Amino acid sequence: MFLHTHPYEPYNLEGATKLIVGTLPPPRFTTGALNDKDVDFCYGSSNGQLWPILDKIFDLGLVYENTHRAIEQRKHFLLSRKIGVCDIVASSERTKIDASDLGMQNVQLRDIFGYLEAYPNVDTLLFTGGNSKNGPEYFFRRKAKEKNVPLHILSNEVPRIHSFIWAGRTIKTVSLTAPSGAANRAVGSLALYKKMKSENPKFTTIDFRVLQYTPFF
C-alpha cells in the first residue's frame, strides 16, 4: 500500500479572497520523481490543465519546466490576484500508484473549515471538480455534514454554484469542470461543447474550460 501524502502546504491563505480546492497531485510529486516539464508547485503536473487554462485567460506567458522560474511565475500570479490554494486531501493510501481520485483509500482530510475561520477574507471556494466520488466537492460535503453546515443551491447548471454560512459570513462554492485529461470525455459529451465544436472545428476542451473558468477567476 502506497501512502500518498500531499507535498505542499496550503498557499497564500493570508491574502486570498478565493481558494482553489483540489485533492492530491500525482504520486510522483510525493516521491519527488518529477519529469522535466513538471513544475514543483501546486497543480504543476505536466499532464494537468489548470495552469494552461489560467495562462490562456490571463496571458501569463508561463514556462512549463522543472525550474525555480516556473514556480515563481505561478506564485506571483496567485499573490497578485489574491488567490490561494488549499487542497482538501492531506493524504490517502493507494493499492495502485496512479493519480485517480477513485483509487484513494483511507483518506485523511484537511480542516478546511478551520482555515476558513482563520482567514476571514476568503469568500469563494473554486473546486477543481464536481461531486463525483472522491472529488473535492464530494469531500467538502462530507466535512460540511460533520459541521452541520447546509449548502444552498445558487445555480444547478455546470459549473454548479452553492453558498453556505460559516464564521459569520456567506461563502460561495463553484464546482468547475476538472482541469484534467480524464475529464475531457465528460466535456466532449456536453451539448454546449458539441455545439461550439460544430461551429468551430478548432475549438478544444481547454477552450471550453477557459470560457467556463474566466468569470470566476
pLDDT tens, position by position, 129-164? 888 899 999 999 999 999 999 999 999 988 999 999
Task: Indicate the pTM of the whole model.
Answer: 0.94
Phi, psi of 105 (to 5 degrees): -130, 155
Q: Quick: pLDDT tens for 57-89.
A: 999 999 999 999 999 999 999 999 999 999 999
Q: 203 falls in which pLDDT band (50, 70, 90)?
A: very high
Q: Is 41 in a helix, a strand, or coil?
A: coil
pLDDT the model gives residue 52: 96
> What is the chain's length?
217
Phi, psi of 80 (to 5 degrees): -70, -30
Q: What's the CA angle centered on 151, arms 101 and 191, to 5 degrees?
A: 60
- The sign of the torsion formed by the CA atoms of 182, 183, 187, 189 equals positive
User: Nine-digit cell at 82?
Assistant: 489574491
Beta strands 105-109 and 89-94, pairing class: antiparallel
pLDDT the model gives residue 106: 95
Nearest one of 156, 144, 159, 135 to 216, comparing CA atoms? 159
pLDDT the model gives residue 82: 98
Q: 9 falls in which pLDDT band (50, 70, 90)?
A: very high
User: Nine-digit cell at 103?
Assistant: 483509487
Quick check: 137 and 175 in contact, CB under 8 A?
yes
